[in-house]
Amino acid sequence: MDLGTIRRILMRLEDTVIFLMIERAQFSHNPVIYESTNTFAELEKDRESSFMGWMLRQTEITHAKVRRYESPDEYPFTPRSDLPAAILPPLDYPKFLHPNKININDELKEIYIKNIVPVLTKRDGRPLDDSNYGSSATRDVEILQAVSRRIHYGKFVAELKFRDHPSDFITHIRDKNSEELAKLITIAKVEEALLQRLEKKALAYGQDVDESSQLNDLQKGKCKLDAAFVVSMYRDYVIPLTRKVEVEYLLNRLEGISGTDINGLLKINKENQK
């Protein structure tokens, strides 16, 4: 695992998220699927109050059975204690990350429902509710899972940066200095390049292309997705949440490590600087 590999994975996830957002944007907001309701008898039985929450739980129950959440880069929204064991034999994943229980999916889901869906689905002349509840919730689940995976990949980025220069981090970790840790992991030009790339992708992927389309005219057409909104979603939510995961991971990075081993990490850093 290296930063180049992670970068390629995150770039593919950008494509996934944009295409899924295009799919969700074709349906109305349908706010009823996020509200507590007694319309659906199955919800109370399955300890869910909203239709989308029920869809998410049922999807994750199925995915847990095929060991999705045994992968170190997948994090469920459903409490792990509520998920069934996998029916497939376990895989032997490399031990790369420091042991941790960081999962910010509850925060992500709240942001998605309150701040992202209403804007993503808003169209002039479109009704607030088009009754496509199943289709809307299905797309919601897919978007949440993809964005969650992208955000929690911050753990891998943080681990690699820590391994490269342990002494840069250790003092701030010991001092529980979140602000300084955030500065160490933030590279403004990388974030700006990401946002520029997202805008270009959203413009390209959001076009209706037919046999008469010319490549140089695509960005002039009407997009199925607002590219500026994709950029703002990453800038205002995805990047900050990823940074939060990275900082929380680093704050716990020395747990269970002896003073002798920490001194060894400091020596490794000195060797890297030679």
CATH classification of the domain holding 75: 1.10.590.10
Q: Which residues form the domain of 224?
A: 3-206+218-273
**Number of compact structural domains in the chain:** 1
Predicted local distance difference test score (pLDDT) of residue 262? 87
Buried b or exposed e, range 92-107, using 16+ CB within 10 angstroms: eeeeebbeeebbbbee
The verdict on residue 213 lying in a domain is no
Report which of 264, 272, 259, 238 is spatially closest to residue 13, judged by C-alpha positions.
238
What are the per-10-residue average pLDDT scores of the chain (274 residues)?
Answer: 90 97 97 82 68 94 97 96 96 94 98 98 92 97 98 97 94 96 96 96 85 58 85 98 98 92 77 50
Pair 126, 28: CB distance under 8 Å = yes
Report which of 231, 6, 26, 8 is spatially closest to residue 135, judged by C-alpha positions.
26
Predicted local distance difference test score (pLDDT) of residue 135? 98
Q: In the chain, which ranges are continuous DSSP H helix?
A: 3-25, 41-45, 51-65, 105-111, 117-120, 133-152, 154-164, 166-174, 178-185, 188-205, 227-233, 239-251, 259-273
Q: Tokens for 22, please give them.
A: 């295009």
The verdict on residue 26 lying in a domain is yes
The verdict on residue 132 lying in a domain is yes
Residue type at position 111: I
Pair 170, 267: CB distance under 8 Å = no
**162: which residues sit within 8 A by CB, 6+ positions away?**
169, 250, 253
Phi, psi of 68 (to 5 degrees): -55, -40
Q: How far apart are CA 265 and CA 142, in angstroms?
A: 39
Per the rule left: phi > 0, alpha: psi between -120 and 50, beta: everything else, 175 is: alpha
**150: which residues sit within 8 A by CB, 6+ positions away?**
10, 13, 14, 17, 238, 242
Calculate the CA 231 to chain-centre distance: 15
The verdict on residue 211 lying in a domain is no
Q: How far apart are CA 192 and CA 178, in angstroms?
A: 22
Q: How far apart are CA 136 and CA 184, in angstroms?
A: 39
Altogether, the residues listed in the chain come to a count of 274
Q: Which residue has the tokens 């939060």?
A: 244
Predicted local distance difference test score (pLDDT) of residue 267? 78
Pair 72, 159: CB distance under 8 Å = no
The verdict on residue 137 lying in a domain is yes
**246: which residues sit within 8 A by CB, 6+ positions away?**
154, 155, 157, 158, 181, 182, 185
The verdict on residue 167 lying in a domain is yes
Q: How far apart are CA 254 and CA 130, in angstroms?
A: 51
Q: How far apart are CA 140 and CA 168, in angstroms?
A: 39
The verdict on residue 201 lying in a domain is yes
Q: How far apart are CA 63 and CA 84, in angstroms?
A: 9
Predicted local distance difference test score (pLDDT) of residue 211? 66
